């Protein structure tokens, strides 16, 4: 009888323990989601560190790169309010320069110029558009107190891409303005 009770107790105990453990419990799912979010967080931290290093390198090189999509309305050379805010920050850093040369370079992607309004203004190539955009930025900086004697602008069209033009993201990276400080910087 004790043997039968013992066997029954063991069987009941096993059944109870089996009921407590499920292969896809909520804990396992939560643990997996947590590990995935931790991996994504590590990836974002790595990307952030890379961007911070790039900004620090640009500051050392005395170069400021601003996306044309931030600065300009698509298909134009009119500076947007967000573009003005970005240029105001840059102008504050450049305002005191006297013995340097500041060159504003304009770049585009390799897509054909579209839009009748640009063509009516005589802009038929990417070089034309990049030149107008560089001129617009240089004029804006002059209006913010940058010495006009040390400031120039040059359009480079689709030359010097920083990314492949085969993707939308690559084309967006290539549409940019670079403001380069040459010389001692004082």
Report domain extents, the chain. Answer: 62-182
- Give the residue among 118, 131, 179, 123 at the shortest CA–CA distance from 159: 131
10 pLDDT tier (thresholds 50, 70, 90): low
> Parallel, antiparallel, or unpaired: how do β-strands 151-155 and 176-182 relate?
unpaired
Q: What is the pLDDT of residues 63-81, one digit of tens each?
A: 999 999 999 988 899 999 9
What homologous superfamily does CATH list for 62-182? OmpA-like domain (3.30.1330.60)
Cα distance between residue 186 and residue 180, in whole Å = 14
Between 65 and 59, the higher pLDDT residue: 65
SS (H, E, C) the chain: CHHHHHHHHHHHHHHHHHHHCCCCCHHHHHHHHHHHHHHHHHHHHHHHHHHHHHHHHHHHCCEEEEEHHHHECCCCCCECHHHHHHHHHHHHHHCCCCCCEEEEEEECCCCCCCCHHHHHCCCCCHHHHHHHHHHHHHHHHHHCCCCHHHEEEEECCCCCCCCCCCCHHHHHHHCEEEEEEECCCC
pTM over 0.85: no
Q: What is the pLDDT of residues 124-179, one digit of tens each?
A: 999 999 999 999 999 999 999 999 999 999 999 999 999 999 999 999 999 999 99
């Amino acid at each position: 009888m004790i043997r039968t009770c013992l066997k029954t107790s063991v069987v009941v105990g096993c059944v109870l323990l089996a009921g407590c453990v499920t292969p896809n419990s909520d804990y396992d799912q939560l643990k997996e989601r947590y590990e995935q979010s931790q991996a994504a967080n590590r990836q974002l931290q790595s990307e952030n560190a890379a961007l911070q290093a790039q900004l620090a390198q640009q500051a050392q090189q005395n170069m400021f790169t601003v996306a044309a999509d931030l600065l300009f309305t698509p298909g134009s050379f009119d500076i947007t309010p967000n573009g003005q805010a970005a240029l105001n920050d840059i102008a504050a850093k450049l305002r005191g320069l006297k013995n340097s040369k500041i060159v504003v370079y304009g770049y585009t992607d390799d897509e054909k110029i579209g839009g009748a309004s640009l063509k009516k203004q005589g802009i038929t190539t990417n070089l034309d558009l990049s030149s107008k955009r560089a001129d617009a930025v240089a004029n804006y900086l002059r209006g913010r107190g940058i010495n006009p004697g040390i400031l120039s602008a040059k359009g480079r069209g689709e030359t010097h891409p920083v990314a492949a033009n085969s993707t939308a993201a690559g084309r967006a990276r290539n549409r940019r303005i670079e403001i380069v400080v040459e010389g001692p910087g004082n």
